[in-house]
Amino acid sequence: MTALVLAAHGSSDVRSAANARAVARQVAWLRPGLDVRVAFCEHNSPGLVEVLNGCPGEAVVTPLLLADAYHARVDIPGQIASCVASDRIRQAGVLGEDDRLISVTRQRVIELGISPLDDSLGVLVVAIGSSNPAANSRTAEVAPRLAAGSRWAAVGTAFATHREPSLAESVQLLRHQGAARVVIAPWFLAPGRIPDRVQRFAVDAGLAMAAPLGAHPLVAETVLDRFDQALAERVAA
């Protein structure tokens, strides 16, 4: 049996690890009999190498990551290469800007009491951000897709780890574009230190902020889809 090893970033915030484990439980519930294991790239235990070395057969590392950036391109492949039997381990793609995840983000915004027909509203999608410009460009595709079919006045993207433009400047830009009020749609998988920083900004600015993606069933579906794609590629090879 091929194990699905859900590889989360890891965080000193216990809520982040708890969310990864909750996603793993959703995955296991959706696919009875599948060997689902959780591992962390850093901060939390068990570590990725430890989990992979403990798998009795083949494994597919499925990153619980939104962006195809450093951890997906460098960190995880490096850890896989250091495993005892790296030749029986494959890496699946990141979750990315999947339509299912965008629909969850839209649901989180609507949970604030927001109507898709509110033409006075601006929605700011806030992601962590990467040093990889290509990854940031792909993340920037989320906002217009999130607004598709709505009458929102404006949408935009900001990165919590980038100073320019700042969150305040990004909000002001939406107001210049016709938004009478602005809400924040976090493009985050789980609560944590960076989402908390964005939340503090929202509170100080008097803005509502939606919940992160969390352990929504559609997140688990996307994880399984990436796992299945990796298995199909192995068979095709």
In this structure, what CATH number is given to the domain that contains residue 130? 3.40.50.1400
For 142-177, letters b (16+ CB in 10 Å) and e give bbebbbeebebbbbbbbbbeeeeeebeebbebbeee
| Domain extent at residue 195 | 99-205
The answer on 90 and 116 residing in a single domain is: no
Query: Is there a domain that residue 210 lies in?
Result: no
Q: How many domains does the chain have?
A: 2
Q: What is the pLDDT of residues 19-45, one digit of tens each?
A: 999 999 999 999 999 999 999 999 999
Dump pLDDT digits (tens) for 174-218: 999 999 999 999 999 999 999 999 999 999 999 999 999 999 999
The answer to whether residues 110 and 196 belong to one domain is yes
Asked whether residue 57 falls in the same domain as residue 138, the answer is no
Kindly state whether residues 73 and 140 are assigned to the same domain.
no
Asked if 89 and 154 sit in the same domain, the reply is no
Q: What pLDDT sits at residue 235?
A: 74
